[in-house]
């Protein structure tokens, strides 16, 4: 079946981090309906096995396609690094399957080709070496360093932001000598934009801090336009699904979107 402009956008993440991407998309593409799935029962993905992430991602993609989504946007760096290629192979003929890593790599290599670049993310994202490999594929002599920051996702999911605890954890990670001298820092996790200002403040706003939200939103708009799939009018309300209810997810979702968001629980693994 040919994709149609009035089909919804499907977006998923391990939890609430992908809401940063979904929010940027909503601001740029207000006529699009969003169906979002946060796999809160299995977060964080960063310490899960590759097989588990691939399994979870596949089930969520099927869930979104059952709801007639024209996109399956993997709004999670860990799932993008681990499961995106498989999702593209399996579902690429049914929807536009997109990740959050490739658009950021394209942006950074174009805008900051000679800068020392740091990458922080979950263990799986960093261990995959996806960012350094993809950046060096475009710029072989690129100076890229990467470091796992596994406490940041559970910290954010538990609501520890803008307080002494989060500041101490952020400072502990960013003071690592591995990141000395960086001029650009890629936030290699869609949760991290929630603490972007804290990170920028640590560096006294002297370095470029890159998050994927606006970059991915612009890339998605360009892709939809090239495929003649941009919605021309708003027809349905956004829908938000989680695999397990968490109080903080609802709080953050309402901060990014309408206070009356449609939030439902859907356990895909029963």
User: Nearest to residue 38, comparing CAs of 253, 268, 241?
Assistant: 241
**Could you confirm whether 76 is annotated as catalytic?**
yes
The residue with tokens 């903080």 is 248
Asked if residue 6 lies in contact with residue 231, where contact means CB atoms within 8 angstroms, the answer is yes
SS3 36: strand
Buried residues in 140-150 as b, exposed as e (16+ CB within 10 A): eebbbbbebbb
Asked if residue 209 lies in contact with residue 196, where contact means CB atoms within 8 angstroms, the answer is yes
Q: Which of 189, 199, 209, 216 is catalytic?
A: 189
SS3 146: strand
Q: Are strands 239-242 and 34-38 parallel, antiparallel or unpaired?
A: parallel
Please give the radius of gyration of the chain, using alpha carbons only, rounded to the nearest integer.
Answer: 18
Q: How far is CA 89 from the centre of its chain?
A: 20
The DSSP-derived string for 63-126 is: HHHHTT-SEEEE--HHHHHHHHHHHHHHHTTTSEEE-SHHHHHHHHHHH-TTS-EEEEE-HHHH
SS3 264: strand
CB atoms inside a 10 Å sphere around CB 203: 14
Asked if residue 44 lies in contact with residue 157, where contact means CB atoms within 8 angstroms, the answer is yes
Q: Which of 25, 76, 83, 210 is catalytic?
A: 76
Catalytic residue list: 76, 189
């Amino acid at each position: 079946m040919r994709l149609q402009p009035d089909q919804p956008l499907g977006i998923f993440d391990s939890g609430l981090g992908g809401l940063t991407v979904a929010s940027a998309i909503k601001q740029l593409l207000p006529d699009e309906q969003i169906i979002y799935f946060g796999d809160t029962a299995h977060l964080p993905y960063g310490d899960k096995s590759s097989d588990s992430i691939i399994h979870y991602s596949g089930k969520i993609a099927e869930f979104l396609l059952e709801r007639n989504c024209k996109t399956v946007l993997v709004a999670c760096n860990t799932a993008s690094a681990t499961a995106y290629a498989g999702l593209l192979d399996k579902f690429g003929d049914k929807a536009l399957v997109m990740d959050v890593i490739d658009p950021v790599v394209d942006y950074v290599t174009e805008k900051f080709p000679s800068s020392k670049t740091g990458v922080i993310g979950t263990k799986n994202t960093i261990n995959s070496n996806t960012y350094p490999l993809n950046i060096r594929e475009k710029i072989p002599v690129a100076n890229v360093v990467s470091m796992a920051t596994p406490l940041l996702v559970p910290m954010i999911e538990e609501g520890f932001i803008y307080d002494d605890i989060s500041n101490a954890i952020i400072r502990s990670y960013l003071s690592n000598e591995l990141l000395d001298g960086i001029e650009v820092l890629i936030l290699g996790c869609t949760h991290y934009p929630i603490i972007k200002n804290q990170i920028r403040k640590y560096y006294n706003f002297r370095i470029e801090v890159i998050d994927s939200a606006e970059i991915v939103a612009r890339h998605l708009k360009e892709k939809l336009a090239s495929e003649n799939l941009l919605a021309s009018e708003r027809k349905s309300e956004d829908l938000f699904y989680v695999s397990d209810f968490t109080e903080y997810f609802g709080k953050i979702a309402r901060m990014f979107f309408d206070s009356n968001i449609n939030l439902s629980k859907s356990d895909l693994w029963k």
